[in-house]
Amino acid sequence: MSVLFLSLGVTLLYAEFAVAERQVARGRHDCPPCIFKSTPMLLRENIPLAPLTTFRLGGPARFFVEGRTVGEVQEAVAFSNSNNLPLFVLGGGSNLVVADSGWPGLVLKVAIPGIERRSGEIDGKALFDVGAGESWDRFVSHAVMAYCAGVECLSGIPGSVGGTPVQNVGAYGQEVSETIESVEVLDRKDGQVRELCREACGFTYRSSIFNTTERGRFIILRVAYALTRGGAPRIRYADLQRHFEGRETLPNLAETREAVRHIRALKGMLIVDGDPDCRSAGSFFKNPIISREQHEDLQKRAAAKGLTLPSYPALEKSKKVSAAWLVEHSGFARGYGDSHVGISSKHALAIVNRGGATADEVLALKEQIQQRVEEIWGVQLEPEPVMVGF
């Protein structure tokens, strides 16, 4: 087995790496995974990415490293730079579609752990510093058990903490941008560790600078959340209101968390062993935000078919429309498809891997859905997952 040792300056100490480089260049991806030892960073070659994603599909990473400290993350970035390798930063793997060919460079899995509550409060809020590699749902559970409100409706979302600021993750009436105090990042432009305040992150609906204007520049290391100690849960979303309908007393944070997890499970949006509807990237399309004029046109199209269009307020001059409704009323009902890829039997927005699916099959269904929705409703659906290696 070829072995590679890296110092902090990412100096190659053994020439066996050159042999591995030549094998990879010649297309030798059929060999078993090789482990490259480093101090302290462990670099591995030809690592399958499918098991590291909730979709369970996609090819291998040419090189793979797990960074459990800021120093290891910096070392991995330096290695990719010095060897001219494209770098992809992997979190919890819950919002990805990996190409069948995999990733041709280095995949860095940020696995920085830790949940720490700061002493004292700021403006009456309890502050939690959380490593980017922590399980998001574990942090939510921790916050709820500490009687701190602000993320309870985001229970059950798979993936890691580091992924939440990127897409401004939201569900059931809450978004992480409401509670994020700051984000600690590694700036790939100069290799410096910086702290970005909430305003600097440019949060909007399912968006931030991390996936738009500054895509690829920053690697998220830690996130600070400001939560309301002793706060009441937010029960604004229709599904939650129906769940607690008829109840005489207000639910507490723990009851709200369990209700959200229950609702997500009914929709196949909770990772449950043995449930085939869980092999997905979650909601595959964003809810479109359209102008009032577009919304009026959409209502007319729906009325012509004898349908009522559900929609929700977004910004002052725009409307948010249910992507799931558009998909279902374009011929893609729950359970659609009879091949390796189909629509979840529980939720129309989830494209699922029924076993043996390829990324190309997923993209083919995605494009079919997008084309049909635009033909019928005049609305362009935007995918939510990150496309890796295409």
Give the number of other CB atoms < 10 A from CB of residue 304: 8
Both 161 and 96 in one domain: the answer is no
| pLDDT, average across residues 371-385 | 96
Q: Please report whether residue 312 resides in a domain.
A: yes
Confidence (pTM) = 0.84
pLDDT of amino acid 313: 65
Total domains present in the chain: 3
pLDDT in tens, 98-134: 999 999 999 999 999 999 999 988 888 999 999 999 9
Mean pLDDT (whole number) for 162-172: 95
What residues contact 186, with CB distance under 8 A and at least 6 apart? 70, 73, 74, 77, 192, 193, 194, 218, 219, 221
Q: Choose the catalytic residue: 56, 206, 234, 257.
A: 206
Q: Which CATH number goes with the domain that contains 149? A: 3.30.465.10
Q: Where are the beta strands (DSSP E) in 25-124?
A: 34-36, 43-48, 60-67, 87-90, 96-98, 103-110, 115-122
Residue 139 clears pLDDT 50, i.e. is over it: yes
Domain boundary among 110, 137, 172: 110
In the predicted model, is pLDDT for residue 60 greater than 60? yes
As a whole number, mean pLDDT of residues 14-42 equals 42
The mean pLDDT of the chain is 88
Tell me what pLDDT residue 124 has: 84
Is the predicted pLDDT of residue 358 greater than 50, yes or no? Answer: yes
Taking the C-alpha atoms of residue 199 and residue 222, their distance in angstroms, rounded to an integer, is 16
Q: How far apart are CA 129 and CA 226, in angstroms?
A: 9
Q: Does pLDDT of 135 surpass 70? A: yes
Same domain, 231 and 92: no
User: Catalytic residue among 21, 258, 328, 384, which?
Assistant: 384
Range of the domain at 93: 16-110
Please check whether residues 286 and 373 belong to one and the same domain: yes
Asked whether the predicted pLDDT for residue 75 surpasses 90, the reply is yes
24, pLDDT greater than 60: no
Residue 154 sits in the same domain as residue 254: yes
The answer to whether residue 283 is catalytic is yes
Residue of 141, 177, 283, 344 with catalytic role: 283
DSSP symbol at 208 = -
Residue identified by tokens 């490593």 is 131
Helix (H, G, I), strand (E, B) or coil at 149: strand
Alpha carbon distance 79, 325 (integer Å)? 46
Q: What is the mean pLDDT of residues 26-54?
A: 68
* 119 lies in the same domain as 260: yes
What local confidence, expressed as pLDDT, does residue 315 receive?
A: 61
pLDDT category at 316 given cuts 50, 70, 90 is low
CATH classification of the domain holding 38: 3.30.43.10
Same domain membership, residue 157 and residue 88: no
Percent of the chain with pLDDT over 90: 78
Confidence of residue 287 (pLDDT cuts 50, 70, 90): very high
Domain stop point among 266, 298, 324: 266
- Asked whether residue 54 carries a pLDDT value surpassing 60, the answer given is yes
Let me know whether 289 and 375 are in one domain: yes
Query: Burial, 194: exposed, middle or buried (Cβ in 10 Å; 0-12, 13-18, 19+)?
Result: middle
Cis peptide upstream of residue 40 (ω within 30 degrees of 0): yes
pLDDT at 33 over 80: no
The whole-number average pLDDT for the span 19-48 is 55
| For range 256-277, the mean pLDDT | 89
Which of the pair, 179 or 311, is modelled with greater confidence? 179
pLDDT band at 386 (very low <50, low <70, confident <90, very high): very high
Region class of 342: left (phi > 0), else alpha (psi between -120 and 50), else beta? beta
Q: Strand pairing of 60-67 and 43-48?
A: antiparallel
The answer on 360 and 327 residing in a single domain is: yes
**Per-residue pLDDT for 22 more than 60?**
no
Q: Give DSSP secondary structure letters for 58-82.
A: --EEEEEEEE-SHHHHHHHHHHHHH
Please give the average per-residue pLDDT across 336-349, as a whole number. Answer: 93
Q: In angstroms, rounded to a whole number, what is the distance separating the alpha carbons of residues 242 and 199?
A: 34
204-215 per-position pLDDT tens digit: 988 999 999 999
Range of weakest confidence among 211-215, 222-226, 288-292: 288-292
